[in-house]
Structures are given as C-alpha cells and as structure tokens.
C-alpha cells in the first residue's frame, strides 16, 4: 500500500493514489494538473521516508476535478435582555483533487 501525508492550507491529509480529496480552494480550472510539494511522510512498498519537516525530492501529481461549496455553517448570535438576534451563515469554497501518482 502506497500512501503519503501532505500539508495543504495548514492541515495534514493522508492521501493515496487513485482517490480524491476535498481541500480548501486552489486556484485553477477543472482539468488542470498541479504538483503538491509539501510532503511530510511517504510509504512505498517497504520503504518509509520521513521529512524534517518536508521531503525535498518527492512530489505528488494531482488533477483538479471540480470546485464545490462545502457544508453550510450557521452562526446565531443572541444578546440576552436586549432583544437582539443575528443569524448568518458561511459556505467554504472547496476544490476536489484526484491524486494521480507519487513522483520520486
């Protein structure tokens, strides 16, 4: 089993080739190929590579599948005894990436 742990947008993701993942918005058009360089750990066959903090000679090739909105978050603020209520919401923009391969 081949997998890697990457850092993207301040978060760490466990990724495998052939699977897709939703990350924070990445600029690009659907169909564009991108390369992820912030690789923390890679496991290939019986070899494990650890970065301090990143591995310099390994990259991940990914393809942008589509852009989509994330789950809606509702914010409801109340000030007691003031009869003040405020409701708002937010949807994060996400990008769906297909991990194609881990490049050495």
Q: Note the pLDDT tens digit of each residue in 62-90.
A: 999 999 999 999 999 999 999 999 999 99
If we measure between CA atoms, which residue out of 62, 75, 83, 53 comes closest to residue 18? Answer: 62
Number of domains making up the chain = 1
pTM across the whole model: 0.80
Q: Give dist(CA 95, CA 5) in Å, integer.
A: 18
Q: Which residue segment(s) compose the domain that 41 sits in? A: 3-103
Q: Note the pLDDT tens digit of each residue in 15-40.
A: 999 999 999 999 999 999 999 999 99
CB 16 within 8 Å of CB 1: yes
CA dist 38 → 57, 58, 66 (Å): 11, 9, 22
């Amino acid at each position: 089993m081949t997998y890697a742990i990457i850092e993207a947008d301040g978060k760490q993701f466990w990724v495998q080739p052939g699977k897709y993942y939703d990350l924070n918005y990445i600029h690009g058009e659907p169909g564009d190929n991108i390369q992820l360089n912030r690789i923390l750990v890679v496991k290939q066959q019986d070899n494990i590579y650890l970065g301090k903090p990143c591995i310099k000679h390994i990259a991940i090739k990914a393809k942008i599948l589509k852009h989509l909105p994330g789950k809606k978050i509702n914010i409801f603020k109340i000030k007691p005894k003031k009869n003040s209520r405020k409701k708002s919401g937010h949807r994060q923009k996400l990008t769906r990436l297909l991990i194609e391969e881990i490049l050495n």
